Structure 1
C-alpha cells in the first residue's frame, strides 16, 4: 500500500531574475506552502543560457535565463519541473543541452526535452519519500517542427528539442469561402514544388480528396459551417499514452504535463480537444494532469478521482513593462493547488491558495512596479479568485467550497 503523498502545483514560471536575495515575508509564505508538500511542481517557461551557448530563434517573445534562476526555484521549494513549452527552444539545440545540464545539476525531477525524441519523450522518475514519481511532459504548439526533438535516421542526424504532442489546426469553412480560397491557390501556387518552397522549413501537409486545401501552410476544409478545429494526431497521442501506462504499471505516481497555445477566443475557456486528451491520459494511468499555455486560470475537474488542472495561469511572470498584451487582470491571478493523497493512493482533498502575481498593489494601480514574485491574496481579492474558479469548475462537475480565504475540493 502506498504511503500518503502530497503534491503542490502552480502556474508557469517565466523566470528571468534570481529571487534568492529577496528578504520579504510574503515570499516566505509562498515558500512555506511549497515546501510543505512532498513534491512541488511548476513549468520552467524559459531556456537556460549555459555553457553550450545558443542563438535567439525568436523575435519579440524570445526569452532566456541564467542558470541562477534554477537555484532560486529550488530555494523557493520546487523539486519538479516540466521543460516542454514554447520557450524551451528559444536558443536552439544548445539551449536544450544547457537546460538539461543545469536542471540535472540542481537535482530536479524534470522531463519534456531531450537530446533526441526518445530522450525527450521518456518519463523521468524520482523518489519523494517512499513514493516513486514519474513525470511526462509534452508541448502541442503551435510551433515550427524544428523546435521538436527528432531521432536519427539514415542520412539525418538526431535533433535535440522538445517532446511533441502532434496536433494540426484545420479551419472548416462554407462552400463559397472554400471555393474562393481554392481559386486563389490555383492562381498563385501552380505546382506542388512551389507549395513546398513556401512551406519551408516545414514540409507541406499531405492531403487527400477534394474537400481540403493547404493554403500557405494552413489547412481549410469544405464544410456546412465555419469553425476552427484542433486535431490530435492518433499515433502521437498513442505514444504518449503508452508511456503513461508503462509508468503507471510500475506503480509510479504519474504527473502528466501538457503545454499548448491553441487557445479559445476566451482564454479561460477549456478547449474540448484538451479535455478529451486529459481524460485519455487519466484512463492510461495518470495520477494528475496539469496544463499551461493560456496565461489565465482555467477550470479544475475531477475525472475518475484524478485532479485535472486545465490551466493554472502564471506563478512567476517576468516580462517587460511595455508588453501591454498581458494587462488583463486575469493574467495576474492564480492559485497554488495542494493535492493530498491517502495511503491507498486515492485523492482525499485539494486545497487552493489564491495568489496575485506581482502583488495586489500593482494589480490595482498599473503605474506601480510589479513585485518579481507572487503574494497570497486575502479578503475580497481571495474570494473573487476562488468564486470565479468555482463557477468555471462547476461546469465540469467540481464542487469547490471557500473556507477562510482558501478553496477546498473534498472527495
Structure 2
C-alpha cells in the first residue's frame, strides 16, 4: 500500500530576482507552508541565462533570469518544477541547455524541456519519502514550431526545446462569410508556393478543401454558426497520455502539468478543450493535474478522486510597472493549495491558503511598488478570494468551505 503524500501547488513563478537576501516574516510564512509538504511544485516561467548563453527571440515579452533564481526557489521550499511554458525558449536552444543544467544542479524534480523531443517528453521521477513521484510537463502554445523540441532525422539535426501538446485554432463560420474569405484569398494568393512562404517557420496547416480554408495561417471552417474552437491534435495527445499511463503502471504518483495561452475572453473561464484533456489525463493515470497560462485563478475540479487545478494564476510575478495589461486585481490574487493523499494514494482533502502577489498595499494603491514575493491574505481579502474560487468551482461540483481564512475541500 502506498504511503501518505502531501503536495503543495502554487501559481506560476515568473521570477527575475533572487529572493534570498530578503528578510521579511511574511516571506517566511510562505516558506513554512511550502516546506511542510513532501512535494512543493511551481512552474518556472522563464529561461535561465547560464553558461550556454543565448539570444533574445522575443520583443516586449522576452524574459530570462540568472541561475541564482533557482537556489532562491529551493530555499523558499520548492523541490519540483515544470519547465514547459511560453518563456522557456526565449533564449533559444542555449537557454534550454542552461535551464536543464541549473535545474539538475539544484536537484529539482523537473520536466517539460529537453535536448530533443524524446527527452523533452520524458517523465522525470524522484522519490519523496517512500513514494515515487513522476512529473510530465507540456506546453500547448500558441508559439512557433521552432520552440518545440524535435528529434534528429536524416539530414536534420535534433533541436533542444519544449515538450509540445499540439493544438490548433479553428474558426467556424457561416457559409456566406466563409465564401467572402475564400474570394479574398483567391484574389491575393498567386500560388500554392506563396502559401508555404507565408507559413514559415511553420508548415502550412492541412485543410479540407471543400469545407475549410487556410487564410494565411488561420483555419476557417464552414459551419452553421460562428464559433472559435481549440482542437487538440489526436496523435500528440495520444503520445502524452501513453507516457502518463506508462508511469502510472509503474506505481508512480503522476503529476501532469500543462501550460497554454488559449484563453477565453473571460480569463477566469475554463476552456472546454482544457477540461476534456484534463479528464483524459486523469483517465490515463494522472494523480494530479495542474495548469497555468491565464494569469488568474480558475476553478478547481475533483474528477475521479483526482484534483484538477485548471489555473492557479501567479505566485511570483516580476513584471515591469509599465505593463498595464496586468492591472486587473484578479492577476494579483491566488492560493497555495496543499493536497493530502492518504495510504493507497486516495485524495483526502485540500487546504487553500489565499495569497496576494506583490502585497496588499500595492493592490489597493497602484502607485506603490509591489513586493517581490506573495503574502498571505487575511480578513475580508482572504474571504473574497475563497468565495470567488468557491463560486467558480461550484460549476464543477466542487464544494469549498472556509474557516479562519483558509479554504478546504474535504472528501
TM-score (norm 2): 1.00
**Cα distance in 1, alignment partners of residues 251 and 197 from structure 2:** 49
Q: For residues 48-85 of structure 1, give each alpha carbon's deviation from its aligned partner in whole angstroms, at most 9, with x where no partner exists.
A: 00000000000110000000000100000000000000
Q: For residues 298-326 of structure 1, give each alpha carbon's deviation from its aligned partner in whole angstroms, at most 9, with x where no partner exists.
A: 00000000000000000000001100000
| Partner of residue 236, structure 2 | 236
**Cα distance in 2, alignment partners of residues 342 and 197 from structure 1:** 56
| Partner of residue 181, structure 2 | 181
| Partner of residue 321, structure 1 | 321
Q: For residues 334-387 of structure 1, give each alpha carbon's deviation from its aligned partner in whole angstroms, at most 9, with x where no partner exists.
A: 000000000121000000000000000000000100000000000000000000
| Partner of residue 62, structure 2 | 62
| Partner of residue 86, structure 1 | 86
Unpaired stretches in structure 2, ≥5 consecutive residues: none
1:208 and 2:175 correspond: no
Q: CA deviation at 1:190?
A: 2.0
| Partner of residue 4, structure 1 | 4
**1:337-356 to 2 correspondences below 5 Å:** 337-356=337-356
Q: CA deviation at 1:207?
A: 1.3
| Partner of residue 95, structure 2 | 95
**Cα distance in 2, alignment partners of residues 215 and 207 from structure 1:** 10
1:377 and 2:340 correspond: no
**Cα distance in 2, alignment partners of residues 87 and 407 from structure 1:** 31
**1:2-401 to 2 correspondences below 5 Å:** 2-401=2-401
**Cα distance in 2, alignment partners of residues 182 and 155 from structure 1:** 37
- SS for the counterpart of 1:245 is helix
- SS for the counterpart of 1:99 is helix
Q: CA deviation at 1:181?
A: 0.6
Q: CA deviation at 1:263?
A: 0.1
**Cα distance in 2, alignment partners of residues 234 and 175 from structure 1:** 27
Q: CA deviation at 1:210?
A: 1.2
Query: May I ask how many residue pairs the two structures share in their alignment?
Result: 411
- SS for the counterpart of 2:107 is coil
- SS for the counterpart of 2:209 is coil
- SS for the counterpart of 2:352 is strand
Note the aligned Cα RMSD (angstroms): 0.5
Q: CA deviation at 1:208?
A: 2.1
TM-score (norm 1): 1.00
**Cα distance in 1, alignment partners of residues 265 and 134 from structure 2:** 34
Question: Post-superposition, which runs of at least 4 consecutive aligned residues in structure 1 deviate over 2 A?
Answer: none
**Cα distance in 2, alignment partners of residues 341 and 204 from structure 1:** 46
Q: CA deviation at 1:175?
A: 1.4
Unpaired stretches in structure 1, ≥5 consecutive residues: none
**Cα distance in 2, alignment partners of residues 335 and 31 from structure 1:** 14
- SS for the counterpart of 1:256 is strand
- SS for the counterpart of 1:289 is strand
**Cα distance in 1, alignment partners of residues 327 and 9 from structure 2:** 24
**Cα distance in 2, alignment partners of residues 91 and 17 from structure 1:** 18
**Cα distance in 2, alignment partners of residues 130 and 35 from structure 1:** 17
Q: For residues 179-218 of structure 1, give each alpha carbon's deviation from its aligned partner in whole angstroms, at most 9, with x where no partner exists.
A: 1110110011121101011111111112123110001100
**Cα distance in 1, alignment partners of residues 36 and 67 from structure 2:** 25
**Cα distance in 2, alignment partners of residues 222 and 207 from structure 1:** 12
